[in-house]
A and B are shown apart, each in its own frame.
Chain A
């Protein structure tokens, strides 16, 4: 049933593997490249690749991964148990050898072949247990008479009546119920009744006769409460970040403090060491703590709120924190090492990995590559209304002109009034700015079908030897179905080399929604077998946020595509490449 089971270190060395049949392709490698290295893990540990399904588990403290491969059409519900048990057995048996791989001084690779029998035993045990469980659940099928369906049939109803009658007969044989007297009811159980009444006083009615007792008047006094309100005021202002009063009495806000490299952004109480005094401290130092979900819960919550403050979308912050937490579960924290520093480090790694592009963002090289095939390189700019598509398109055009490319701008925004004129002005400026006037506009006015205009523009560009065709589209909301269909049609008809989603850095949770819906629309409405997706992101209005760069993370996380350009202003030179380091530092800066 299983095709393949492999146990390997995260560094790629296969420790133990079992092949039940030949495995075509290399599904484990595909799993690692496509799913595990990308930090966008979901909570599921199953993945489909080709004709196989893969399920995996991690042993984080030893950096070992366990992968099971089986045919996609099978369903093996006991695989979770199998993975857990195998993990436990393997780790228990070979923990020392695994550590030797990186730490020790051995000259020979330890052999793990002795695990074969153990694995077979474990598998048999899991299968048997599963069979037992399923049998016990099924049991012997019930007789029809015992089911509820039978009760509703005529025969069943008759039977019921008979049963009732029988029961009644038994009753009738008893004496008829006497009307018990009041004393019987209460007197016989006098003692009990009294006790009960004493135990529960029940609700006493408030007596409003103008004469209130002292206790009740105090209880009814709701004025004052001074101590409570003071506490609230203290919470509103953080004493530490208060500003300074200058000599003139002017209140100046505190400076943005310079931070050293080791950012202590997770404040809070020291992680609780077992209170045993000196011995307790030593004990904790010596043994170290194993990280569990509970110990990680609070720091993770702090981290999540920190990210949310940096304008990262709420569910993206959630997912990233979950990924980091999952990667830390089961790790042993050395006593001297703080949980916080460990979390910060792994957070930094995870964020870096999300933001680092997995493909090259060298546009010039791509243009040269495509030009060798004899056609122009097409880039389409899509996005919602008002994010800066036309502005950034002209900035990209300026950059391309500086690199001596012939650029054609296709005005496919046929909806917004003034869109074509705007591009005309840009083209005029660009022609004035560049020495060789290698930029032209291709427009067909308003109200026409943009897919058709784009197609004509590309044909025009090809015939007139243009290097790049930049397609400007109309802004559209992601929920607007007819417009999304039109966009999908433009993409599928013209198949641009790069589809760039233009998003502004100010956007918060909306970013996730926009990107998801754009991606889904482009792929669903295209009617193609292998539809396109968004290939890159342009992050605009970056100069308007200073620290709150979370939108970069949200957008990259949702699409998995890199941020190709960053727009930092409204002039033609305000276009930058993405600097992962800068964004990470801004994100993790407290």
Chain B
């Protein structure tokens, strides 16, 4: 929540405006934003970050071909547990793994002086996910319609990210995960938005 997803969506959706002035103000989203990017290159879906939208997020991931995960580089140190959990859920999602969707982790708000560089964010996330995958494995089986043990075992196995026994690193995952920096403020050096657009075109055309 509050990482800048809706701002990014506005930027990508209205490139003409974003070139000249800052993107429109945004507040906490309570609904999904979905529209075609200009020239119909891509269909962008912005899912709110609130936990209650977990279900919507999982549904949208089923149809996704690429995922942009936006992180607030300023707040990430405080919210590292929640951020890591959400990222874990995205990476462990069955469709994302099956389709090997490329994931771009965008460390946003780099214009702020207190923002952490993306290398540091990457390290922090790796540590947390390392601990997370252990506790996820230890979790109970969920209520099932039918007592289908095989399905449950498969679900658990898919849940485990990285290689067993080795400390978790993003390179271990079978689908490409890239870290980038960005800022929504116009004129800032680490603009990063052109990189995002480039990444989107690359990922969708491979």
A residues with a Cβ closer than 8 A to B are 6, 8-15, 17, 26, 28-29, 32-33, 36-38, 63, 65, 101-103, 105-109, 352-353, 356-360, 362, 364-365, 368-369, 399, 402-403, 542, 565-566, 568, 575-580, 582-583, 585
Contacts and interface: CB of A to CB of B under 8 A. Distances in A.
A11 B31 contact: yes
B59 to A, nearest CB: 10
Contacts of B48: 11-12, 37
Given A102-B33, A356-B51, A365-B135, 16 more contacts: A8-B27, A10-B30, A11-B46, A12-B30, A12-B46, A12-B48, A13-B25, A14-B25, A28-B27, A28-B28, A33-B28, A33-B50, A37-B28, A109-B24, A352-B55, A402-B138
Contact of B29 (A10, A103, A364): A10
24 contacts: A10-B30, A11-B6, A11-B48, A14-B25, A29-B28, A102-B34, A103-B35, A105-B38, A107-B16, A107-B38, A108-B14, A108-B16, A108-B17, A109-B17, A109-B24, A352-B55, A364-B135, A369-B81, A402-B138, A542-B143, A575-B140, A577-B139, A580-B55, A582-B145
Given A6-B27, A11-B46, A358-B51, A582 B135 contact: no
A18 to B, nearest CB: 12
Contacts of B55: 352-353, 356, 580
Chain A interface main SS type: mixed
Nearest to A585: B145
Contacts of A8: 26-27
B10 A13 contact: yes
B15 A578 contact: no
B141 A12 contact: no
Given A13-B6, A356-B54, A368-B135, A32 B142 contact: no
Interface string B43-60: 000101011111100000
B38 A11 contact: no
B140 to A, nearest CB: 5
B35 A102 contact: yes
Contacts of A360: 51, 81-82, 85
A362 B31 contact: no
Contacts of B52: 37-38, 353, 356, 358
Contacts of B136: 362
Interface of B: 1-2, 6, 10, 13-17, 23-36, 38, 46, 48, 50-55, 81-82, 85, 131-132, 134-136, 138-145
Contact of B10 (A109, A357, A576, A578): A109
A398 to B, nearest CB: 11
Contacts of B131: 365, 368
Contacts of A568: 143
Contact of A33 (B1, B17, B31): B1
B6 A12 contact: yes
A542 B28 CA distance: 37
Nearest to B14: A109
Contacts of B140: 399, 565, 575-577
Contacts of A28: 27-28
A578 B142 contact: yes
Q: Which 8 A-B pairs have the closest CB atoms?
A: A12-B29, A10-B31, A11-B33, A364-B135, A108-B16, A579-B143, A14-B25, A107-B16
Contacts of B32: 11
B24 A13 contact: yes
Contacts of A368: 131, 135
Given A102-B33, A582-B143, A358 B50 contact: yes
A528 B36 CA distance: 52
B141 to A, nearest CB: 6
A358 B16 CA distance: 37
Nearest to B38: A107
A26 B26 CA distance: 12
B51 A357 contact: yes
Nearest to B20: A108
Tell which of B10, B55, B131, B141 has the most Cβ of chain A within 10 Å. B55
A364 B144 contact: no
B51 A13 contact: no
